[in-house]
Structure formats: C-alpha cells, structure tokens
Amino acid sequence: MDQVYIPKIRNGMPAGSYVVIRPLNLELKKQAPILYNIKELEPVKIGLIEQIFSVIDSKTETENIIITGSFLEKGFNFNDIDVIIIAETQSRGIEKEIKEKTKIETHVIFFDNQLFIKALKTDPIYRLMLSKCISRKRLTPLPEKKLNYRYLDAQLIKSKSLILSFDYIDGKEKYKLTRNLMAIHLFVKNKTLSIDNIEKGIKKQLGIGIEDLKNNLTDNNFLRKYKTFYNGLEGEIIKNAGKQEKAD
C-alpha cells in the first residue's frame, strides 16, 4: 500500500480529519498562436504554423517562436516560411524536419534572448518583422532603439545592389531591396516601422506602387529617384557615423 505524507503544519485540516485521495488529471489547454497586426489568415496556414510549432517543441526548449515574412500575406505567393526561434541552444536539423512535415521550405534563425534584444535595438528589419507576425507566446514590448550608424551603413549597402544590377534582378528582389532602404530611412527618422509605412514611403519617395514594383514594372525614372534617395540617405548616415565615432 502506498503512503501519502501530509505536512504536520497545515491550514484547514486538523489532526484526525478524514480525507479522500484521488488522482488529479490536469489537461493543459493548448495555447493558440498569437497574431500581431494580422486581420485574418487562411486556416491552412494556421495548420502549418501549428505543425511548425510542434516540430520545434519536439526538438528544443524555446523561450518563443515567431513566424514572419511574406507567408503571412494574403494568398499563397510565398517561397518559404521565415521562423525566428528564441532559445538558449541551437538545435540542428529543424529546417529539414519542418520541410519533411509541411513540404514547405523554411528559413530558421536562432537567437538567444540577449542577442535578440540587441538585434531589435539596432536593426530596423527585425523591428519591422515583429510589426506583423505570429508568435507562440506573447511578445514583450520592443526595447528602445539604438542608432548605430556604422551598422546601418553596412546594412544600407545591401540595397545598393538594386542600382548595380537593375537590369538583371526581378521585381520581388527589387521590392526586398527597396523595403530595406525605406526601413533604414524610417528608423533613422524615428518613424514607426510597419509594412504600411514602408509601402507608403516607397510610393511617396520613389513614385511607384507596390504591385508595380513587385511585378518589375520599373523604368529609368524609378532608378533615377532610387539613386537620389539612396545617395541622400547614405550621406546622412556616413555624416552621423563620423560624429558618433568622435563622440565615443
């Protein structure tokens, strides 16, 4: 016969009381994915996200899992699924297992908590990612941003490839590079980073609609405006980088 030990000092159960001992069945309620700035999502995508969470949970302990990128846009015009995993240790083979389970390519980025906070402070693209995403657990508020102009200069160079390879890259790549350019601009100008603000900025500053850009309906007039805008932002960042280095 099993013995059950009850603490000698207890409230509401004096010595000699009769008690009933029975198993306590606790079923943990499955938490639904948390949506940020997403009005609706196709049920099949919710199913895929739950599969991705399940695969990751079976491989490693995580602080959070975040789904972001074009997968969250309406429709099925995406190439892969972007996944950010916040964990103390990296687990190999997760991308392969997710693909085997979902039949879709994934791009997995691992961060520990400290590195992720650092990325959110200094990198406008990661802040932009969280403006529209789905997470396993509730997100904490964004940390206060920190302008590291040398870092931003290095990130801006990525967008220069649109100028250098204008005739050879497709509309999706042009949109990606233009989005990077506009995100850095909004970050430097202390504007809110969101997909809507990015696309409004592209329309205002470069005179092209997003669908036209994605469909590669660009011309030399767009390229001229892009060069002017790029050079102006680059000059501002380099100037401030010099001031920042002198101050340090």
**Mean pLDDT, to the nearest integer, of 169-189?**
96
The Cα–Cα gap between 16 and 86 comes to 51
Backbone angles phi, psi at 89, to 5 degrees: -130, 150
Tell me the average pLDDT of the chain.
89
pLDDT tens per residue across span 117-133? 999 999 999 999 999 99
**Residue 28: band (very low, low, confident or very high) from pLDDT cuts 50, 70, 90:** very low
Strand order in the sheet with 34-36: 34-36, 133-135, 64-68, 81-86, 106-111
Averaged pLDDT, 91-103:
90
Confidence of residue 164 (pLDDT cuts 50, 70, 90): very high
CA–CA gap between residue 147 and residue 127 (Å, rounded): 13
Domain regions of the chain by residue span:
37-135, 149-247
The CATH number of 37-135 is: 3.30.460
Position 169 scores a pLDDT of 96
Banded pLDDT at 1 (limits 50, 70, 90): very low
Mutual orientation of helices 220-247 and 149-164 as an angle, nearest 10°? 160
CA distance between the termini of the chain: 72
pLDDT digits (tens, 9 = 90+) for 40-71: 889 999 999 999 999 999 988 999 999 999 89
The Cα 226–Cα 165 span in angstroms is: 13
Q: Is the pLDDT of residue 19 over 80?
A: no
Task: Please tell me the predicted confidence (pLDDT) of residue 3.
Answer: 63
